[in-house]
Structure 1
Amino acid sequence: MTHAAPGVPSPPNSATLFYLGAHQPHWLWTAQFPLFVSHRQLARKARLRPAVCRWALDSGGFTELSLNGRWTTTPGQYAEAGARYAEHLGMPDFLSQQDWMCEPFMIERTGLSVREHQDRTVANYLDLRALAPGLPWLPVVQGWTLPDYLRCVELYASAGVDLAALPRVGLGSVCRRQSTAEIGHIVATLAGLGLKLHGFGVKTGGLQRYGQHLASADSMAWSYNARRLPPLLGCKSHKNCANCLTYATQWRARLLASLAARGHQIALFTSLPPQTGEAA
């Protein structure tokens, strides 16, 4: 792996590709902007048809490990599902691997160490790549402290994976502390190594703090906000808009407008296919 010179940050991305988190898979056939859809929800769909927007796949790992303390879906099953999605929906920008999160409560839940979570994360990426080499698997760098993340990068390198050469690399275990100075430093450091990072579950504060170092990001903050508010005028069929595409669309527009007002560039792709070298 080629590392950036010490103390020299990587140039900021000209734009961050933003995916709206969606727990309603049928939005893939109506939304006109990129979606981040969970495997746990998509797997329930017996019939699939081509998506009309760009999309990427969330493995559902946070829920999987929180509920079970381990992965109950095998790499073979997940790779088979990924192939099915690509065949019927169209090739995604990326499919998140089955990583192992490293938050302290998750380490306590599994009973394993951070290093073991990292080893299993790297091994899973290698397994998925071998099982379905034609799919754009997203490797995830896992850790809790900056030294943890740097060690995980080296674990990938030792396994023959040059993360800096890949179109996209996920950054794990940051969504619950994403607007902190610590995470900003971690993101900037990893971006300085040439990694084109995807930020999972990044809210407005995180995008404002370190969004310029991200190649892409996703968020479902809109649903949490909507759950605490009365429904929009005209939304008479539900008690709140936590599953409402109209609310999600308006929330997304407000978010992107507020970031643009601060001078941050967000890619406003709709149903366009990914550019060459952009899928990961």
Structure 2
Amino acid sequence: MSPVTTALGAGMRFYLTTHKRHWVKLTRLPLFLKAEHFAAARTLPSAQGPYAVDSGGFTELQRHGTWTRTPRQYVQDLRRIWECVGPYDWAAPQDWMCEDLIIHGGQAGPLTFQGTGLSVREHQHRTVNNFLELRSMAPELRIIPVLQGRSVEDYEYCRDLYEQAGVRLATESTVGLGSVCRLQSTREGTAIVTAMSAHGLRLHGFGFKTLGLAKVGHLLASADSAAWSYHARRRPPLPGHTHKNCANCIDYALSWRTRVLAGIPRTGAPA
């Protein structure tokens, strides 16, 4: 068994996150794209390989403090993407992240967060209710449930909300693990992933980076990352490339993905 397979688990799928929708016709490697990057286009490319669809919830809540697109509008977007681009692996719901900045608002670098002013529990209930509404409207669209919270106890509470609503998470093909992006390489993040994995869930880790994958990648069914672009902005372009940097370059993204997977150790180190 290869080091990558051992570290990430058999069949683990690692998606490259990009805002370049035309990449779906350029590679057969897994891609992760926001629904809005397809929705605004007049014509859509056909996908050559697997891809998944992000609802763009972090940006929605960061900018507006609420969702500006209704579930019905989102379903219309997802149906168009499915029909024009091709069947996707899954699509995220219009979930509600639970990071402090999303809830309370504030400034993080150049980003201003409006803040929802709601509690973690309210975010969790809204996340579950949105999933139930979306799946009721469009059961054929492979919309996945997402767990939200800030602590192990929070994620257990959210899991119970799904179970009480009749959603058996252990039978779902994918269960998203939200709000762990900034915790993924910490002891708390490791505890959250470990606890949810212990329930037999096929977890997707949103926004995972190298350190997070090294610690808990073997517990995930899939993960996505846009870290390649951040990495490329701080380095010279690839030889022969004439742009200022490779922050929007598929060649760099694919090369970065190969390096990351090859460099992950055989087992995730304990927190």
**TM-score relative to the length of structure 1:** 0.87
1:111 lines up with 2:107 in the alignment: no
Q: Deviations over 1:211-270 (max 9, x none)?
A: 11100000000000111122112110x2111100011011011011112xx2269xxxxx
Q: Is the 8 A contact 1:96 1:139 kept in 2?
A: yes
TM-superposed deviation, 1:158: 1.0
Q: Is the 8 A contact 2:147 2:178 kept in 1?
A: yes
TM-superposed deviation, 1:32: 2.3
Q: Is the 8 A contact 2:38 2:44 kept in 1?
A: no
Measure the CA separation in 2 of the matches of 1:189 and 1:13: 17
Measure the CA separation in 2 of the matches of 1:16 and 1:47: 31
Paired position in structure 1 for 2:95: 99
The structure-2 alpha-carbon separation of the partners of 1:155 and 1:207, relative to structure 1 and needing over 3 Å to count, comes to same
Paired position in structure 1 for 2:56: 60
Identify which of 243, 247, 250 aligns with 2:252. Answer: 247
Paired position in structure 2 for 1:160: 166
Measure the CA separation in 2 of the matches of 1:190 and 1:155: 14
Measure the CA separation in 1 of the matches of 2:235 and 2:37: 24
Identical aligned pairs, as a percentage?
Answer: 51
Q: Is the 8 A contact 1:223 1:241 kept in 2?
A: yes
1:36 lines up with 2:39 in the alignment: no
AA partner of residue 154 (structure 1): D
AA partner of residue 249 (structure 2): C
Q: Secondary structure at the match of 2:224?
A: strand
AA partner of residue 89 (structure 2): D
1:227 lines up with 2:233 in the alignment: yes
AA partner of residue 252 (structure 1): R
Paired position in structure 1 for 2:111: none
Identify which of 64, 71, 79 aligns with 2:67. Answer: 71
Paired position in structure 2 for 1:147: 153
AA partner of residue 111 (structure 1): G
Q: Which runs of 5+ in 1 are unaligned?
A: 1-11, 266-280
TM-superposed deviation, 1:44: 2.0
Measure the CA separation in 1 of the matches of 2:56 and 2:267: 29
Q: Which runs of 5+ in 2 are unaligned?
A: 1-7, 105-114
- Superposition RMSD on alpha carbons, in Å? 1.3
> Highest relative contact order (Cα 8 Å, sep 6+), 1 or 2?
1
AA partner of residue 196 (structure 1): R
Q: Deviations over 1:183-221 (max 9, x none)?
A: 111101101011110000100000000011100000000
Measure the CA separation in 2 of the matches of 1:88 and 1:212: 34
AA partner of residue 242 (structure 1): A
Q: Deviations over 1:119-164 (max 9, x none)?
A: 1000100111011111100110000011100000000111111111
Q: Is the 8 A contact 2:24 2:45 kept in 1?
A: no
Q: Is the 8 A contact 2:215 2:267 kept in 1?
A: no
Identify which of 126, 130, 138 aligns with 1:124. Answer: 130
Paired position in structure 2 for 1:263: 266
Measure the CA separation in 2 of the matches of 1:98 and 1:13: 28
Q: Secondary structure at the match of 2:230?
A: helix
Measure the CA separation in 2 of the matches of 1:49 and 1:105: 35
Between 1:76-85 and 1:40-49, the stretch displaced more is 40-49
1:84 lines up with 2:90 in the alignment: no
Measure the CA separation in 2 of the matches of 1:23 and 1:127: 27
Measure the CA separation in 1 of the matches of 2:185 and 2:11: 19
TM-superposed deviation, 1:171: 0.2
Q: Secondary structure at the match of 1:90?
A: coil
Measure the CA separation in 2 of the matches of 1:16 and 1:75: 30
Measure the CA separation in 2 of the matches of 1:44 and 1:67: 18
Measure the CA separation in 1 of the matches of 2:256 and 2:267: 17
Q: Secondary structure at the match of 1:154?
A: helix
Paired position in structure 1 for 2:199: 193
